[in-house]
Amino acid sequence: MQKYIAYQGEPGANSEAAIEQYFGSDAEALPCQRFSDVFEAVVVGSAVYGMVPIENSITGSIAENLDLLRKHNLYITGETVLQIQHHLLGLAGTVIDDIAEVHSHPQGLLQCRSFLDVHSNIRPIAAEDTAGAARQVAEWKIPERAAIANASAGVRYGLEVICPDIGDRHDNFTRFIVLSSQLSDVDKADKVSMVFEVEHRPAALYDALGVFAEGKINLTKIESRPIPEKAFNYWFYVECEGLFYRNTRKRLEADLRAQLQHLKILGWYCSEKHVAKKEQKHQIPSIK
């Protein structure tokens, strides 16, 4: 059966939960080992969409995915926000004193720093993803090894919750974006994402940001990333909120291009809060 939506990780990963939350439980998913593999799957057409995390409310942006957005000719067609809960998972009958090492994605380990500081005898070990760590612990069958992952990964791989909800904060959310090879043509969007470069001169960024100020457009995110081929030069990832009708987008884009050295619109789309009002899942087109 043809797979439709690519994600990084293994079954039970948070990215798979984001797919279900956005598209519904019937969505066909394609697990990939790396984030770059997700982008490549959409580029070559083995998946219609990709689902990748772009930002965590505690640890900030996923820099690798910002860089991949600039590198690939893909677009953002939507977003979804997933509440993250980390649990300490282990073999049946395992107690906290049995554990010598814990495996998880680096983000999972970072988001459970307080728990790991208290239990300093447990050695944290980075894994490709949280669900993959849970699967490995189940396969190893060694009581001294545990994983940090979500509850569904524990159920899927037959692990027990040794310590529930061990994250540093309970208000832990990750925002995921939906990748597509096509730029969305939704008539009324309330969010736009873009990447751009400015000239290396005084006030170049100020002039570019002035376009948003004059248009009364709310910037919700701006982040600089290094340009590898231009030492100590930077490009910017920007997100804005507003009402972007199809017939008004050209003016904004033209005004920006007049100020910028390079501009790529990553997508005009509906934000999480706008989609939540509609209370509907997104349809998946067929692959021909």
**Residues 25, 77, 186, 2, CA torsion sign:** negative
pLDDT (tens digit per residue) in 12-30: 999 999 999 999 989 999 9
Exposed, middle or buried by CB within 10 Å (0-12, 13-18, 19+), for 97?
exposed
Taking domain 1-84+172-183, whether its CATH number is 3.40.190.10 is answered by yes
Where exactly are the structural domains of the chain?
1-84+172-183, 87-159, 187-269
pLDDT (tens digit per residue) in 255-267: 999 999 899 999 9
In sequence order, which residues have a C-beta less than 8 Å from that of residue 237 and are 6 or more positions away? 61, 66, 69, 70, 193, 194, 195, 221, 222, 223, 224, 225
For domain 87-159, the CATH architecture is 3-Layer(aba) Sandwich (3.40)
Task: Give the residue-averaged pLDDT of 62-67.
Answer: 96
pLDDT (tens digit per residue) in 162-210: 999 999 998 999 999 999 999 998 888 999 999 999 988 899 999 999 9
Residue 287 pLDDT class (50, 70, 90 cuts): very low
Catalytic residue among 23, 39, 115, 176: 176
pLDDT, the chain, mean = 92
**CATH node for 187-269:** 3.30.70.260
pLDDT, residue 1, reads: 40
80 has catalytic annotation: no
Catalytic residue among 174, 196, 212, 244: 174
